[in-house]
Amino acid sequence: MTATDKRKRAELVAAASAAAGSSAPAPYAPTPRAEIVTAAEALEARSQAPLPADPLAEFFYREDEEAVGIDLPEEEADGPEAPEEPPREYLGFRLAEEIYAIELSKVREIAKVPPITEVPRAPSFVMGVMNLRGEVMPVFDLHKRLGLVRHAPCNRSARVVVVETGLGPAGLLVEAVEQVVRLRSSTIEAPPPGLGAGLESDYLLGIGRDRDRMFVLLNLSSVLGLPGTEPR
C-alpha cells in the first residue's frame, strides 16, 4: 500500500467516524421545573378562553336574561264602586185579599182593635178616634180610602197599625198583619195595568216582591193626606 493509499483510507475512516458520532442519541437532560409550570399555565389559559360566539344564541331565551318586549298599556283601574243602597223594611198587611205594605220606619206599634168613637161630619174613611193608653188618635179605614171591597167583617185577626204623621199618631185598620219584608228601591216595579183601578195615581209607590209574594207599596202621605208621612 502506497503512502497515498494510506492517506486516503485514513480520510475515509475519519469521515465515517464523524458521521457515526452525529447520529448517536444525545445524553438525557431533565426539563427545568419552571418551564413545566409555565407550560401548564398556558394550557389552562387556553382552556378558559371564551368559545366563539354562536350567531343563533341571541334568539334563544336564557333564564338569566331580562324579558324584552313591547310596552303594553296598563289597564285602567276601575273607579270605586258605588255603594249599594241598603234595603228598606216594609210592613205588609192584608186588605181585600191583597197584601199592601208601608215603610216600617213610619210604624210606631201594632195594636188590637180597641173601642172606636165615631166623629160627626168626619170623612167616610175616618172611622173615628181611639184612646191608646191615654193618647187619642184618629183611625182610618183603608178599605174605604182605597176603594176596596171588604169581604168579611173585622175579626180577631184585625189590627190597628199606629203610624207617625206630622200631626201626631194615627191608626190604620187592616184585616191582618202579614210580615216585615226588606226591599231595595232598585227592585220595586211599576204597578201593572189594572192594579189599583180607581185609586189616585200617587197612592201607589209600586210593586215589591219577596219570593213568591207580591206587595202593593202605598204612599202613606198621599193615602192619608197628612204631612210628615212622605216616604224617605
Helix (H), strand (E) at residue 89? strand 88-95
Contact in structure between 162 and 139 (CB atoms under 8 Å): no
> Has residue 121 been placed in a domain?
yes
Q: What is the pLDDT of residue 18?
A: 45
Residue 99 structural domain: 88-224
Whether residue 143 lies inside any domain: the answer is yes
Instruction: Say what the pLDDT of residue 6 is.
Output: 57
Give the pLDDT score at 198. Answer: 56
Does residue 8 lie in a domain region?
Answer: no
Give per-10-residue mean pLDDT for the chain (232 aa). Answer: 57 47 51 59 58 52 55 60 83 93 94 94 93 95 89 83 92 95 90 65 87 91 72 49
The predicted structure's pLDDT at residue 88: 92
Q: Which residues contact 46 (CB under 8 A, 6 or more apart)?
A: none
C-alpha cell read off for 121: 161630619
pLDDT, position 212 = 86
Angle at 200 between CA 195 and CA 205, to 5 degrees: 65
**Number of structural domains found in the chain:** 1
Note whether residue 17 is domain-resident. no
User: Any idea what the CATH number is for the domain that residue 96 is in?
Assistant: 2.40.50.180
> Considering only CA atoms, which of 90, 93, 94 is closest in space to residue 104?
90
